[in-house]
Amino acid sequence: MYVEALCVRDPSRLLLTPDARYTENCQELPLGKGLWATCTGNLTYRLYMIDEETDRAGFFGLLTENGEACFMALRLQAEGGLISEAEALVARWGNPLWGPEGYTQPRPEMLQRVPVAERATRAEAIAIADSYFDGIEQDNGDIVPVHPDCIRIENGVQTTSNPERAGVGRLPVKAGLSSGFYSYIQEIRDRRYPVFDQEHGLILAIVVFEHPALVKSVVVQGFGELQLAPFTQKPSSAVIAEVFKIQSGQIRQIEAVLEFLPYGTKPGWN
């Protein structure tokens, strides 16, 4: 319902609580503003997460805004069948990580149900996802239970195990986390894990990566000293919605929508 209403720019189609809140890229807006005023269509990529225990839902999709592709990650909270919270993260053209052309359908692994015996509890899934962010902060992939075949896709771009990318992008997830490349990230703060779809093994994380722009180059194992991309050379906060596929105690796949916002941006939610 939400996405269909968004694509025709008609929030009156939503069933809302009287005090419903909407944020877009961490800013509170009236429904009808922001992407609600500029969305021009819905493309084929749709990934849903349903958390029946908390009456929450998550969504990753590719939309069009004024004729240009944009990525949207969405968190919804329901109360008594009405939407009380809508949190959207919209990644728009101009983002340094940008690959909408290959973002057509969810990977089959993301849609498959996890056998009951291989499912994580909520606490286990949160701990596994949180270890991934700890691994980035500590430059240590050994503390992250990640499957060797895990692939990470960010804004439609495959950023691990990708022979077409330079440097650390060619490495698998675990090796990339241990490579030293991510030392330019000061901290990963305001970590939240609001949606857990146990049936499909999907946990949605929403976090903020702090980029203080204090590092110009990094020494990466196997690649030597690498100059960092221009976007790292100005202070920013990357707000990231990241979905982890958890099965048999391991991260099997990773998918993220991220946008670079002013340094120090607060998420807008507790």
pLDDT confidence of residue 42: 87
Give the whole-angstrom CA distance, residue 45 versus residue 74: 14
Residue that the structure tokens 């805004």 belong to: 65
3-state DSSP call for residue 111? Answer: helix
Class at the top of the CATH hierarchy for domain 2-98: alpha beta
CB 210, CB 188: distance < 8 Å: yes
Q: Give bridge partners of residue 23 from the DSSP assignment.
A: 28, 87
Both tokens of 5, joined, read 């209403």
Cα distance between residue 225 and residue 84, in whole Å: 49
Report yes or no: 154 and 207 within 8 Å, Cβ to Cβ: no
Find the Cα–Cα–Cα–Cα dihedral 198, 201, 206, 212, rounded to 10°.
Answer: 150
Q: Per-residue confidence of the chain (270 residues) as pLDDT tens digits?
A: 899 999 999 999 999 999 999 999 999 999 999 999 999 998 899 999 999 999 999 999 999 999 999 999 999 999 999 999 999 999 999 999 999 998 999 999 999 999 999 999 999 999 999 999 999 999 999 999 999 999 999 999 999 999 999 889 999 999 999 999 999 999 999 999 999 999 999 999 999 999 999 999 999 988 999 999 999 999 999 999 999 999 999 999 999 999 999 999 999 998
- Map out the domains of the chain as residue ranges: 2-98, 108-262
The model's pTM: 0.97
- Domain 108-262 class in CATH: alpha beta
Q: Facing residues of 24 across strands?
A: 27, 88
Maximum distance among all alpha carbons in the chain? 57
| Same fold: 2-98 with 108-262 | yes
Q: What is the token pair recorded at 9? A: 């720019």
CA distance 173 to 36: 35
